[in-house]
Amino acid sequence: MARRLPLPQVTLCAVSSVNVKATVRALEASLAQIDVGAALLLTDSRLEPDHPGIRVIPIAPITSARAYSEFVLTQLVDHVETSHCLVIQWDGHVLDATRWEPDFLAHDYIGASWPQYSDGHDVGNGGFSLRSRRLMLLCRDAAFRRDHPEDVAIGRTNRQWLEGQGMQLAPRALADRFAAERAGDVRASFGYHGVWLMPQAIGMEAFWRVYRDLDDRGTIRHDFSSILEQMRRGRGGLKRTSRLIWDQIISRKQG
């Protein structure tokens, strides 16, 4: 087994009340590549991960995306003792630890860039992001305007104020080497975020296994068309695309 990248100054964190099994898989995939100071799953689900390095922290249910933002901005820092926190979600994780750059830790916030912005405030995505503990503490400051989604609150709404407090957000080029999402190259980054990237990042068969274990398949709705097209071209395409469509019909009725 290859030696894992030592990152003792980083706490790996995931916060979720849905798709928890897939979230555990993302933590395990990351831990296969990096050796961190701590690995935490903050959830209301009762489970014991097989991986001995994952510690479960019981929390109240996260009932919405807005509630997730509020928790990450105000409560997650209470569980982080290291200088930095690597936040991941079920649809993103560390891909290639050899692409780690020490300069990542020289910044207080780094996540995949947002190609839709051209004003320089374009870093970045929170679903796979590295943030310093001192930045996380500032997110609880009375002057910080908390909003949803939490990554926009950090990367855009409060960026100027955060920089005024001495925080350094990564430049776009570095962010694109850190992670791929709407921009960047999933084949040339340390990690990624985005369910539509999963077939490319982990392979179609592995993605299908993850998908079948999801307890909220409606979470792929925003990127359904992209996933459907990739699935159509893969093995068992007709059967699997039919299942995807049916699942979305059911999730909309339940929603």
What are the DSSP calls for 121-149, one per residue? Answer: --B--STTEEEEHHHHHHTTSTTS---SS
Of 64, 92, 95, 114, which Cα lies nearest the Cα of 218? Answer: 64
Reported pTM: 0.94
One domain for residues 239 and 178: no
CATH number at residue 41: 3.90.550.10
pLDDT by 10s per residue, the chain, length 255: 468 999 999 999 999 999 999 999 999 999 999 999 999 999 999 999 999 999 999 999 999 999 999 999 999 999 999 999 999 999 999 999 999 999 999 999 999 999 999 999 999 999 999 999 999 999 999 999 999 999 999 999 999 999 999 999 999 999 999 999 999 999 999 999 999 999 999 999 999 999 999 998 888 988 899 999 888 887 777 888 998 888 888 877 776
One domain for residues 180 and 226: no
One domain for residues 131 and 212: no
One domain for residues 80 and 111: yes
Domain stop point among 197, 217, 242: 197
One domain for residues 116 and 159: yes
Q: Compute the Cα dihedral for 24, 49, 43, 217 and give only its sign.
A: positive
One domain for residues 221 and 103: no
One domain for residues 24 and 91: yes
One domain for residues 76 and 45: yes
Which domain covers residue 135, as residue numbers?
5-197
One domain for residues 185 and 205: no
Domain stop point among 157, 182, 197: 197
One domain for residues 79 and 115: yes
DSSP string of 9-61, one letter each residue:
EEEEEEE-SSSHHHHHHHHHHHHTTEEEEEEEEEESS----SSTTEEEEE---
